[in-house]
Amino acid sequence: MTRFRPWIIGGLALIIGVAHRGLTDDAVPPVPVIDTSRGDRMIADYFLSETALLSHACLQDIDVLADWTSRRDEYRRQLREMLGLDPLPERTPLQPVVTGKVEHAEFTVEKLHFQSRPGLYVTGNLYVPKGLTEPAPAILYVCGHSKVKEGDVSLGNKTYYQHHGGWFARNGYVCLTIDTIELGEIEGVHHGTYNLKQWWWNARGYTPAGVEAWNGIRALDYLESRPEVDGNRLGVTGRSGGGATSWWVAALDERVKVAVPVAGITDLENHVVDGTVEGHCDCMFPLNTYRWDFAQVATLVAPRPLLISNTDKDTIFPLEGVVRIHDKVRRIYRLYGAEKNLGLQITEGPHADTQELHLHAFRWFNRFLKNDSESQVEKTAVKFFKPVELRVFERLPSDEIVTTVQQTFTAVAPPPTVPESDSDWNRQRNEWLADLREKVFRGWPEQSTGDAKTLDLREAFAVEAQGIRLAAWDFTSQHGVRLRLYIAHRAGLKADELELVVLNALDQLGWTKWLASLRPGFADELKDEQLPEADAAEFGQTKKMFESFKWGMAWIAPRGIGPTAWDQSERKQTQIRRRFQLLGQTLDGMRVWDVRRAAQALRAVDGFGKVPLWMQGEREMSGIVLYASLFEPDVARLDLWHLPESHQNGPDFLNVLRVFDLPAALAMATERSKVRVYQTTPAARAYPQQVATKLGWPEKQLQIRVVPGAKLPSGTK
């Protein structure tokens, strides 16, 4: 990666950066088999410690009821935000339409749809008991994951779960069973980060859990509009994915008087440490901006009646985690003096829709919606209809947005305006920085900048060969993440004699190329790494650079790259990234932290504290370096190669598009540092250039340079 190439800048031949002539297939050294054992151990330990931190903090400072009630509304607002529902969308007209009815001797099924937002169609079946003489209690039933199709036509998962609606209706309840967006009649998407690589969902602050929650809230609006329904006696239930949605709806909407989520929630330890996240799509999780464990969601139902229902052999909602959730939630119910309103039901069996689960749920609703603890449940849950009989649409509506809702459900920040004055810019920049810390990088550790104690900086080796001095320093980026910083310069020079030092952030391709470039002189020192074939020509250029200039070069491979690379399979890489999300982080966001800590470690090495610091990165690392520079003082210059134009294409940070997009970050960096952006097209970076011109920043503070197109090896970004 770090192949040096001369650029004529201000009369000096600056040999710095990535020689893009070296990015052809022929020039890339063969990538060796990566030893992931160190990385696998590190990431497992990291997830264990981070999960323990969040689990311990969950509700830890709630001692008396006033502690809880004073924070409950803010917690509910935070949950709305993490679901993409803050502020709540406008309650636009539902425009309900009943497209047909199906008759049973004891109840009628209405086939209907409504729009929770314009074009966001919700299909459902409304089960209404026959012979009602007064408004009845009503149940919102949210379906789990079950695909029901005839040929290419989706009939909706409501048709699979029809036995629940029929059972409630036969026992005196109105029941609305609604489809989810992925497995409904209009087939949307739940799997953006799970297997579709749509990591921009994180940047937009989008999760399909938010859509499902909103559809559930609007379903309550619809139930309240029906004359057959007693709006003061509403319950919600569902299993698996529907169980998760039951939590969101009950936590957010106090019209829900009784909730029975079935097999829909467990704790972070199960998901992150034990790996059950790998069995769940994105609809099961909010974006965990505020770093909650899942018990905090459940407590928002208190003191209303809540039955936590599960089986004892459920592999994706394991028993141990469900019990831990119950224990934490019970503390809050006890503070209310309402422990009788909290139940834990565990039946024998796997992750399955068993009749034992139905029975206990039904008795719970009878007890709290009908004040009936005595009646026996005599009628069982039976499917009466062929799925096609419950289909709502004969033809799908042309104005639907279900299939594209991920692109519009959460609003991104509008394009920023060019400030009129320095004071306008200072205000805007400070607001952006505060939002980045609060909403985007909240998962960073709290240690102070450059804290020598937390860095635990230790020299691993220092050696001279062929006129180059190479040293390696190990440091702690955060608890459990130990990284190595490499520093090189001309032999015989002291650090304080250097004119500048360049910190290079390496991706996996860059790491391989860097090893190849230094292997001719330092194979023994690098023997612990999986060394590619030596690149003697590149080593020669490196020697020439150090002979000609009093420069230092430093390199850092952030977590998951090079020495700390973990399992390289695509599936495992994806699921590790999703674990970061559950911790209120992203892998890219924590790599920004690693680069920050590398800069701090570099400055802590004797003699380097006063040397002007430059930073550079290529491909995804260009964005990582850009953001690291916003939080580190006195970065003299940035060299960014192939920086994306939008976070729609990376880097992957939580909520960042709700704050701003990359052009604004580039403007912030330009205020602080000289910035050079190298790209293959002459397209301008309009916003930062306009800001620089308006505020009178030096003319050459930001420069956009066109470099020859680069053919990347297959499998690289």
As a whole number of angstroms, the distance between CA 414 and CA 338 comes to 46
Q: Is residue 303 a part of any domain in this protein? A: yes
Q: Which of 7-11, 72-76, 507-511 has the lowest mean pLDDT?
A: 7-11
Which alpha helices (DSSP H) does 120-272 contain, by range? 162-170, 200-204, 208-225, 241-252, 268
Residue 651 sits in the same domain as residue 534: yes
In a domain, 207, yes or no: yes
pLDDT digit string (tens) for 564-587? 999 999 999 999 999 999 999 999
Condensed to tens digits (0 to 9), the pLDDT of residues 660-713 reads 999 999 999 999 999 999 998 877 789 999 999 999 999 999 999 998 865 443
Nearest to 409 by CA among 188, 254, 113: 188
Total number of domains in the chain: 2
More confident: 323 or 18: 323
**Residue % of the chain over a pLDDT of 70:** 94
Does residue 515 lie within any of the structural domains?
Answer: yes
The span from the CA of 482 to the CA of 472, in Å, is 13
Same domain flag for 366 and 434: no
Residue 713 lies in a domain: no
- pLDDT the model gives residue 20: 34
Instruction: Convert the pLDDT of each residue in 227-258 to its tens digit.
Output: 999 999 999 999 999 999 999 999 999 999 99
Question: Reduced to 3 DSSP states, what percent helix, strand and coil does the chain have, rounded to the nearest 5?
Answer: 40, 20, 40
pLDDT over 70 at 25, yes or no: no
User: 58 lies in a domain?
Assistant: no
Residue 419 lies in a domain: no
For helices 208-225 and 241-252, give the axis angle rounded to 10 degrees.
Answer: 70
Strand partners, 344: 308
One domain, residues 369 and 452: no
Are 103 and 37 contained in the same domain? no
The phi and psi torsions of 442 (rounded to 5 degrees) equal -60, -25
**What is the extent of the structural domain holding 433?**
6-53+428-706
List, in sequence order, every residue forming a beta bridge with 175; answer none if it has no partner. 127, 139
Whether residue 432 is found in the same domain as residue 285 = no
Answer whether 361's CB lies under 8 Å from 347's CB: no
Which domain-ending residue is among 358, 373, 407?
407
Q: In this structure, are 432 and 398 located in the same domain?
A: no
CATH code, domain carrying 90: 3.40.50.1820
pLDDT at position 452 is 72
User: Can you give the pTM of this predicted structure?
Assistant: 0.94
Q: Do 339 and 472 lie in a common domain?
A: no
- Based on the fold, state whether residues 15 and 154 are members of the same structural domain: no
Q: Are residues 398 and 451 in the same domain?
A: no
Calculate the average pLDDT of the chain. 93
Task: Select from 326, 240, 237 the least CA-distant residue to 276.
Answer: 240
